[in-house]
Amino acid sequence: MDYLNFDYEEDEDENAEMSEGTVSVEIQSLTEATDTAEEKPREDSSDTDLEIEDPERSFATIKGPELYLEACKLVGVVPVSYFIRNMEEPVMNLNHHGIGPKGTKALAIALVSNTTITHLELEDNWILGEGTTYLVQMLRENCYIQEMNISNNHLNTDGAEAICRMFYHNTSNIRAIQLAGNNFREESAQYFSESLMVNYRVIELDLSHNEFFEKAGEQLGQMLANNEALEVLNLSWNHLRMKGAVALSAGLRNVLVSNSFIRLLDSVAEAHPELDVIYGGVGGHIAKKPLQRPDAMKLIQYYLDSNKLRLWDFFKNMDKYGNMKIPVAEFRRAMLWQSKIPLNREQVTELVRKLDRGRTGYVDYSHFKVEEPEPKPKEEEEEEEEV
């Protein structure tokens, strides 16, 4: 598959330069003049010294609140007092502060050298694609921030491209990121799909409340089949529809899930027993001998024998239409909600696979029909009674 034009070699060279240089190099890059909306910020601009009031001082020599105040003065924004007061706390919550892209630039400058903040909340601040670029540049140098929420910031396609460039090159320590409600459309799905195929750092990703359609479901499904790190993916409140959901689910067939996923699936199945999720197996732990559970069909037969019932009648009671075919969803619901035969989700799933081997979507029980003996003529019955 051809990957997007993320210009791998150029980023490799820049990363090498960052590792050999000092923090001031990154700060200078972040603070390069980009005042016009038409001019796109460059990641490799690190050759311009900042001009501040005191020529003998440099951003490389100051940190903390003083650095942030100088950065705000440089870009022309009002400092956020909450940020100044809480710079030494691990969780920084700046949601709904109206920071904007320029304010984000000032924050990014201050965060480059910050070593205490591990969780950054920036929801609903009109960061835009421009502000996203500053955050991405900052995260290349800051290895302490591991969780970030930049939902509802109108990032659009430009912001998605900047984030996915970071994913593609694994240039940050971000493990969990929330990107809900950022107007990501079909073209953004391709960025996420191809960059996350090679990402090994992000384990939680929230892409809910965006505008992904059926094609996005296909692309993200391909990503799920290839990504070995992602554990949580939130795609709620998009427009995947049936085709997109099927394509997305197909990507899970080769995926190993965790025990927490199984527990979540069991709880969901209680409310939606018709749901059937196919996955590659349970991974992430030392392999153990699987727990042997009684065969579901044998349990059913035991119940029928104990109550002198026939298998045919057992299935017939579930058949609303009387055509000897029960939709799989209705069969799963009936089997999980009945209380006479103790069956769990896994047993019912295995039972469905046996009864619908061709994956037709129906449980055909016609072959369980037992021909009733023809009633004897009345004269023969009377003769037998006399004898």
Rounded to an integer, what distance in angstroms lies between the CA atom of residue 369 and that of residue 114?
74
Q: Give the highest mean pLDDT range of 135-144, 235-244, 312-321.
A: 135-144
Mean pLDDT of 299-323: 86
Considering only CA atoms, give the Rg of the chain. 30
Q: What percent of the chain has pLDDT over 90?
A: 45
> Could you read off the pLDDT of 334-353 as tens digits, one per residue?
888 888 888 888 888 888 88
Q: Which residues pair with 206 in a beta bridge?
A: 178, 234
- Give the phi and the psi of residue 120 in degrees, each rounded to 5: -115, 120
Residue type at 148 in one-letter notation: M
Rounded to an integer, what distance in angstroms lies between the CA atom of residue 132 and that of residue 127?
7
Where residue 13 falls among pLDDT bands split at 50, 70, 90?
very low
> Could you read off the pLDDT of 350-370 as tens digits, one per residue?
888 888 888 888 888 887 765
Is residue 111 within 8 Å of 139, Cβ to Cβ? no
| pLDDT value at residue 58 | 57
* Domains of the chain, each with CATH number or no CATH: 8-282 (3.80.10.10), 296-368 (1.10.238.10)
Is residue 119 within 8 Å of 146, Cβ to Cβ? yes
Is residue 259 within 8 Å of 282, Cβ to Cβ? yes
| pLDDT value at residue 332 | 87
Q: The tokens of 51 are what?
A: 């001009």
Where residue 374 falls among pLDDT bands split at 50, 70, 90?
low
Average pLDDT, the chain: 81
| pLDDT value at residue 81 | 97
- pTM, rounded to two decimals: 0.66
Q: What percent of the chain has pLDDT over 70?
A: 77
Residue type at 258 in one-letter notation: S
Is residue 28 within 8 Å of 71, Cβ to Cβ? no
> Could you read off the pLDDT of 216-226 as tens digits, one per residue?
999 999 999 89
| pLDDT value at residue 24 | 45
Q: The tokens of 82 are what?
A: 């909450």
> Could you read off the pLDDT of 99-153 as tens digits, one per residue?
999 999 999 999 999 999 999 999 999 999 999 999 999 999 999 999 999 999 9
| pLDDT value at residue 167 | 97
Q: The tokens of 304 are what?
A: 């029928």
| pLDDT value at residue 23 | 41
